[in-house]
Amino acid sequence: MTGKIQKGLVYLKNRGIREFTARAAEKLADARFDYNRWVRAQEPSPLEMGYQKSLRIGSMPKIRVMILQQEGEPVRGKAFRRTEETLRRQTYLNAELCDALTTQVSDEDLIVFVRAGDLLPPHALFELARAILDGSSCVYSDEDRYRLAKDGEREKLMLSDPLFKPDYDPDYLRSVPYIGSLFGVKAGILRRAAHILRGAAGMPTAELADPAVYYEMTLLCTELSREHVAHVPKILCHAAGRKEKIVVSQSDAGGKPQDEEAMRRQENQVRDDAFIQVLKRDLSRKGEAGIVERGRGPLCFHIRYLHPESPLVSLVIPNKDHASMLKRCLDSVCSLTTWERLEIIIVENNSSEPETFSFYDTLKEGMYRQLPVRVVRYREKGFHFSAIINEGVREAAGDYVVLMNNDVTVKTPDWIERLLSQCMREKVGAVGPKLLYPDGTVQSAGIVIGIMGFAGSMMVGGKNEDPGYMNRAAAVSRMSAVTAACMMVSREAFWRAGGFSMEFPVALNDVDFCLRLGEAGYHILFEPTAELYHHESASRGYENSREKSKRFENEKRHFRKKWEKTLKEGDPHYNPNLSLRTCHYEINAGVPKWLICG
């Protein structure tokens, strides 16, 4: 106990009363956390549900619910009736069951899909109807899993495994079929999608029970909605645990049945192959060229987009002294990188060590291990990272620029090809790879706004082979920011966003830049298949001493003021039910947001 008190006092001294209070509240909430109780606390009160039943808004749509039954399930069997019973208890009264998309169904009606056996809380349909009042054509929600446990003579509903999803992200959807069990789409959009997929005959509802067909339908409907897709960050569906069908087959040796694990692997491969074909058709419809691969996680896929051009890439490396570190970086790039159209620009920043200038002398010929290299000098005194980066990009000849720290080395030989695959796509402004510590653990898998009250890298310290929560460490996805320790950016987008801001000389300049890229209409992507090592101390983590904190305090304060609206609204690529006190997509057990973000 004495050790814990001493540890707490050290934390208070180094981080201040606000951080100490937030940490204490988090620890207390974690100790008392009960997910089933948490879900019940999020649900509306009887008074609110009564209000929902009485509410009449002319613009709220007619909802028609289609219950999807898997092949082999009894028609209107026990699972179907269980779902149907939860529909009878809905507070949204302008809803009914629907078997088919007939001519009597208006294009503005909301068709809601739910799988037989899934349970909807009483306010689910009301929340979906309210969410599309902003003009959205599709809507989805968060969900979890349930099982029924015996409690004496009764069955008790036990909830677990919540899936807290980001706002609509088509790149993530192409990597992970995350939309899930509860999905609403306006009938007009659904008709168009069915016509594209099946022609004039349309699509029988029974077909949508097939997971691959359902996935293709969600991809197409969300695309036809022109990204007007609403997300309700509430648990509106308790999905039934579904046992995969296992097809018994005979092995070649002796005709003995395969073991269950082997059959499950075989079935998963068949399922994945069907999803890969869906993604190939999706690429073909959009006129895009790409290679669809299996991802590292379960039900995770990766697309390598193909482009006919082979642009020049400029690698900008700020450097002050540490000649051996710079040499290690250059050796790694030159010996491992497979992309040939590459130039390296070293931005010299007030070095003083003779070894550094001796190393620069070896570069006077303009080549280093067969790659063109230039040293440009930042002539202002003092350290200003934003100004140094802008100086380097001004010197760049490439259409695409990689900003790289001098303590980064290459792991994936075709890392530039993989970053270009994403960065050359329309409206993509910047792409960040997965950065690893030298011990192979994760240093950054994208940046989320609001973490620790300002912004933070995700999955810090996690195992590289771990796909993470909802495959977030293994899937291409949109992020609000990526770190400039290694970031590829379109040179055109860089200057259109105004370059790095002089407001942030040391910290948070990369995050500020990415947010301004977003405001300029560009997307920022995380590309997990490009991996590099960042030789920053794996034990350093967040700024955890008074001295380090002081250095960043002014810029953190300025960042909070400049991006106050963004911090209050929350990162759209992160779920508001997830904690801002951790970087591993963990549920917020109850620490108020104002205590973290101010």
What are 335-366's pLDDT values in tens digits?
A: 999 999 999 999 999 999 999 999 999 999 99
Q: What is the pLDDT along the chain (598 residues), one digit of tens a residue?
A: 565 565 556 555 545 565 566 656 566 556 568 999 999 998 999 999 999 998 877 778 999 999 999 887 888 899 999 999 999 999 999 999 998 888 899 999 999 999 999 999 999 999 999 999 989 999 999 999 999 888 777 888 999 999 999 999 999 999 999 999 999 999 999 999 999 998 877 778 889 999 999 999 999 999 999 889 999 999 999 999 765 443 333 344 444 556 778 888 888 899 999 999 999 999 999 999 999 999 999 999 999 999 999 999 999 999 999 999 999 999 999 999 999 999 999 999 999 999 999 999 999 999 999 999 999 999 888 789 999 999 999 999 999 999 999 999 999 999 999 999 999 999 999 999 999 999 999 999 999 999 999 999 999 999 999 999 999 999 999 999 999 999 999 999 999 999 999 999 989 999 999 999 999 999 999 999 999 999 975 433 445 556 556 767 889 999 999 999 999 999 999 999 999 999 999 999 875 554 445 4
User: 351, 319 in Cβ contact below 8 A?
Assistant: yes
65 with 138, same domain? yes
pLDDT at 257: 55
In a domain, 264, yes or no: no
In a domain, 302, yes or no: no
134 with 180, same domain? yes
- Looking at 205, 223, 240, which one is the last position of a domain? 240
- Looking at 197, 222, 240, which one is the last position of a domain? 240
14 with 97, same domain? no
In a domain, 284, yes or no: no
18 with 114, same domain? no
156 with 78, same domain? yes
From CA 520, how far away is CA 514, in angstroms rounded? 10
16 with 68, same domain? no
* Main-chain dihedrals φ then ψ at residue 576, nearest 5 degrees: -65, -15
462 with 384, same domain? yes
**Amino acid present at 411:** K
11 with 120, same domain? no
Closest to 471 in 3D by CA, of 294, 252, 221, 299: 299
pLDDT at 18: 58
- Looking at 176, 211, 240, which one is the last position of a domain? 240
Name the domain count of the chain.
Answer: 3
The continuous run of DSSP H or E covering 534 comes out as: strand 523-534
In a domain, 211, yes or no: yes
User: Does residue 336 sit in helix, strand or coil?
Assistant: helix
Residues in the chain: 598
From CA 444, how far away is CA 545, in angstroms rounded? 21
In a domain, 206, yes or no: yes
In a domain, 151, yes or no: yes
Domain ranges, residue 220 = 41-240
From CA 420, how far away is CA 413, in angstroms rounded? 13
**At a CB cut-off of 8 Å and minimum separation 6, what does 212 contact?**
271, 274, 275, 277, 278
11 with 93, same domain? no
Q: Measured at the alpha carbon of residue 218, what is the angle toward residues 213 and 221, in degrees to the nearest 5?
A: 120
pLDDT at 595: 44
In a domain, 580, yes or no: yes
Question: For residue 56, what is the domain's CATH number?
Answer: 3.90.550.10
pLDDT at 248: 36
501 with 458, same domain? yes
95 with 191, same domain? yes
In a domain, 87, yes or no: yes
Tokens of 7: 């540890």
218 with 108, same domain? yes
